[in-house]
């Protein structure tokens, strides 16, 4: 039986952690790191302002690159995969759709996607705005001072700044839309009938009978930080990829999503648990068995 302090008891993980996947500890913000980033951001911003006021295109280009690198680093430094500790939510499937048609299952275990955090979105936007403005000024300054040769590198840099600005803007808009009243959540649901990928305005429904194999994959492994980008491929008997799930950026650890899909794909005799608290308890036990004490008393 669960206890108030400990939750459901740990269960042996049904599958090992896939190769290159990590179970990290939740990222802790180190004060000295914040101080260093802050000093570099403020210092490069001040130097950039002085370079612009002095009309020095070369110095302005250098300092805007330093500023952009520092702000982007500040934004992503605390975003690491492997520290997720959340559980799926047992939800009525109708709440995840626009109720235009009846969903395959009444109740599903919904793994909610977090999306880009406000922290990283804000810093990407700041880097994009400042860099774009600085490079536009540098281009105009170069043209008016007969230094058009500088356009060879300034125009590509401007395009890069616009990409960063676009990424930050899209992240902010997506976060706002997802949090707005009436907006549908994005994520992955598993129920008695199969697996469903919920997008902002659409779904992909894959029946259990079609899934012959669940294959974990990984990309963008950073050996220094331990960060990684996990995904799961749902494959048919002829090895066709039915659904390629990028499961980074979820509230639950990628391993729990992978293990849950694979377990019920391989154990049809246990699918009667899906849509009930029994499956929730099983997944909570797996989570505690794999992630250990770092789970604590969080749901």
pLDDT at residue 181, rounded to an integer: 47
Around Cβ 73, how many Cβ atoms within 10 Å?
A: 16
Q: For helices 118-144 and 151-179, give the axis angle rounded to 10 degrees.
A: 150
Provide the token pair at 181.
């009243």
Q: Are the beta carbons of 60 and 292 closer than 8 angstroms?
A: no
Q: Report pLDDT digits (tens) over 2-28.
A: 444 455 678 888 999 888 887 765 455
Nearest to 210 by CA among 191, 229, 195, 192: 195
Q: What's the rounded Cα separation, in Å, for the pair 96 and 196?
A: 10
Q: What's the rounded Cα separation, in Å, for the pair 125 and 168?
A: 4
Longest Cα–Cα distance of the chain, Å, equals 78
Q: What's the rounded Cα separation, in Å, for the pair 229 and 272?
A: 32
Across 168-185, average pLDDT: 66
Residues 6+ apart with CB under 8 A from 208: 193, 194, 195, 264, 265, 268, 271
Q: Are the beta carbons of 57 and 150 closer than 8 angstroms?
A: yes
Our CA angle for 22, 23, 24, nearest 5°, is 105
| Domain spans of the chain, in order of start | 1-26+87-113+185-299, 28-78+116-183
Q: Is the whole-model pTM more than 0.95?
A: no
Q: What's the rounded Cα separation, in Å, for the pair 137 and 30?
A: 36
Q: What's the rounded Cα separation, in Å, for the pair 249 and 230?
A: 9
pLDDT at residue 220, rounded to an integer: 63
Q: Report pLDDT digits (tens) over 117-146.
A: 667 778 888 999 999 999 999 999 998 887
Q: Report pLDDT digits (tens) over 48-90.
A: 999 999 999 999 999 999 999 988 887 776 665 556 778 999 9
Q: What's the rounded Cα separation, in Å, for the pair 68 and 50?
A: 16
Q: What's the rounded Cα separation, in Å, for the pair 23 and 43?
A: 36
With DSSP H G I counted as helix, E B as strand and the rest as coil, what are the percentages for the chain, rounded to 5?
Answer: 50, 15, 35
Rg (CA), the chain: 24
Across 217-233, average pLDDT: 74
Q: Report pLDDT digits (tens) over 230-281.
A: 899 999 999 999 999 888 878 888 899 999 999 999 999 999 999 999 999 9
Report for 62-66, 146-150, 293-297: range of highest mean pLDDT: 62-66
Dihedral Cα 22, 247, 19, 8, nearest 10 deg: 60
Residues 6+ apart with CB under 8 A from 248: 81, 228, 229, 230, 231, 254
63 by DSSP, 3-state: which? helix
pLDDT at residue 258, rounded to an integer: 95
pLDDT at residue 261, rounded to an integer: 96
Is residue 151 predicted with pLDDT exceeding 60? yes
Across 189-202, average pLDDT: 89
pLDDT at residue 1, rounded to an integer: 44
Report for 99-103, 114-118, 189-193: range of highest mean pLDDT: 189-193
227 by DSSP, 3-state: which? coil
pLDDT at residue 250, rounded to an integer: 86
Q: Are the beta carbons of 193 and 211 closer than 8 angstroms?
A: no
């Amino acid at each position: 039986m669960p206890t108030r302090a400990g939750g459901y008891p740990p269960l042996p993980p049904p599958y090992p952690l896939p190769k290159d996947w990590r179970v990290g500890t939740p990222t802790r913000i180190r004060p000295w790191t914040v101080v260093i980033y802050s000093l570099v951001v403020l210092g490069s911003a001040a130097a950039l302002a002085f370079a612009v006021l002095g009309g020095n295109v070369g110095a302005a280009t250098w300092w805007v690159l330093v500023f952009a690198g520092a702000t982007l680093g500040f934004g992503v430094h605390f975003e690491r995969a492997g520290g997720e500790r959340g559980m799926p939510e047992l939800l009525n499937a109708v709440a995840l759709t626009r109720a235009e048609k009846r969903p395959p299952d009444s109740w599903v275990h919904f793994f909610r996607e977090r999306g880009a955090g406000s922290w990283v979105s804000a810093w990407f936007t700041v880097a994009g705005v400042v860099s774009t403005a600085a490079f536009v000024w540098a281009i105009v300054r170069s043209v008016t001072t007969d230094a058009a040769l500088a356009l060879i590198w300034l125009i590509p840099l401007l395009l890069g700044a616009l990409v960063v600005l676009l990424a930050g803007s899209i992240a902010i808009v997506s976060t706002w839309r997802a949090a707005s009243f009436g907006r549908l959540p994005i994520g992955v649901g598993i129920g008695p009938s199969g697996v469903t990928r919920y997008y902002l305005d659409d779904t992909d429904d894959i029946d259990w009978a079609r899934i012959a194999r669940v294959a974990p994959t990984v990309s963008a492994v950073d050996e220094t930080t331990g960060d990684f980008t996990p995904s799961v491929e749902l494959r048919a008997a002829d090895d066709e990829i039915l659904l390629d799930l990028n499961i980074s950026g979820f509230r639950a650890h990628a391993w729990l999503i992978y293990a849950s899909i694979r377990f019920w794909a391989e154990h049809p005799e246990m699918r009667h648990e899906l849509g009930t608290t029994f499956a929730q308890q099983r997944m909570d036990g797996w989570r505690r068995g794999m992630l250990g004490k770092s789970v604590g008393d969080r749901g």
